[in-house]
Structure 1
């Protein structure tokens, strides 16, 4: 008859067990790393509706009228999407501004990128563009 050694088993849940090898830790870290791409010339793409700009770092009390008044200086604004936080009722910090004309959208992007808007430095980029492998 065989003798069995009694082994204490412990139920473990979740991630980050201490018995992970160094290789596993390194592999896990490397697989989650997001590649940083700098100085990539991306080409803007038109959506089905028009040329859409993505504006970030907006002041929380920005209104649609503020955006329409400012961005109408560069051309006819077709549509504005300004999302509000359900809990606070303030702007989430970003908006989408749509133009019919490519030239109007480029002018607005060039003039308003890193400009002061209601006390905040906003960033303006095209919402749809080709990635680094175009």
Structure 2
């Protein structure tokens, strides 16, 4: 499981986030995506903690909390969608519903 942390200051660092979430348990990983062109933080992050109980406590306490001049949005991260914008598992189609890329025509 992973935690999504949004509405972050563009000045935030991985160390800042680790420090905040360490108050709720053992932080396994912090991912702070940056813009490819500018190298600037994109305003959101993903945090993984040792246990689900630690993650739940952090989510409950930090969602909506004011930090670095912003109100954080903290919740369970959702699985990433693929580049087509759906949750399919890839492949060329076929199977029981008929072939190919006939999206929405079942």
Displacement after TM superposition at 1:79 (Å) = 0.5
Matched residues in 2 for 1:90 and 1:120: separation? 17
CA deviations over 1:43-90 (Å, ceiling 9, x no partner)? xxxxxxxx2100010101100000000000000000010011123322
1:111 partnered with 2:51: no
Matches within 5 A, 1:36-115: 51-115=1-65
Aligned residue pairs, count:
79
Matched residues in 1 for 2:2 and 2:69: separation? 23
Matched residues in 2 for 1:89 and 1:122: separation? 22
Matched residues in 1 for 2:65 and 2:40: separation? 21
> Normalising to structure 1: TM-score of the pair?
0.56
Structure with larger Rg: 1
2:8 partner SS = coil
> Normalising to structure 2: TM-score of the pair?
0.70
| Aligned residue number for residue 126 of structure 1 | 76
Unaligned runs of 5+ in 1: 1-50, 130-134
Matched residues in 2 for 1:87 and 1:121: separation? 26
CA deviations over 1:91-114 (Å, ceiling 9, x no partner)? 101100001211100000001000
Cα RMSD of the aligned pairs, angstroms, is: 1.3
Unaligned runs of 5+ in 2: 80-106
Matched residues in 2 for 1:87 and 1:119: separation? 26
Matched residues in 1 for 2:72 and 2:37: separation? 23
